[in-house]
Amino acid sequence: MIFGVNVCNMNNDIKVDLYSSDFSSESKEVTFIDTVIKAGFPSPAQDYLSGTIDLNRELIRHKETTFLARVSGNSLHDAGICDGDIIVIDKSLEAKNGDFVVAFVDGEFTLKEFRYDEVEKCAWLIPHNKDYEPIKVTEENEFLVWGVLTYTIKQLRR
């Protein structure tokens, strides 16, 4: 279900299309392998199939306040959040240092890493791409953390 919000800032460094989670239809379970998958030597995974997993239950803790979004832009590329990724955003969580957040600053939305600076008594929204500058947020700014990223879903084969 489309939530109907297109989040983009004036610098066009990142854009997010928001979607709500659809819990109205049947559970969408996929086969789950209940073992550690090593990135080294092969393992006979077939011996460890243990049922199914529901991605809604696994990825979404607070269904009323959780949204999915598709990222468009590259300001967080070096953090592994890339153009085309699907992100899970929970609006019920309070941002902590190091969290990635969808934030509203002076009339614009942005997706960045959140840090609070105790010395300067300000927040910083940190990009992870050398082509972009951090955004300093002080009490003079209109500022709101709209939601905290909890998961990133990547498409590896296009």
- Judge contact between 72 and 14, C-beta under 8 A: yes
- Judge contact between 78 and 144, C-beta under 8 A: no
Is 112 in the active site?
yes
Residue that is written with structure tokens 């910083």 in the block: 124
Find the catalytic residue in 112, 121, 136, 154: 112
Is 72 in the active site?
no
Find the catalytic residue in 43, 75, 121, 130: 75
Helix (H/G/I), strand (E/B), else coil: 19? strand
- Judge contact between 66 and 88, C-beta under 8 A: yes
What are residue 92's phi and psi, to 5 degrees? -85, -10
Name the residues annotated as catalytic: 75, 112
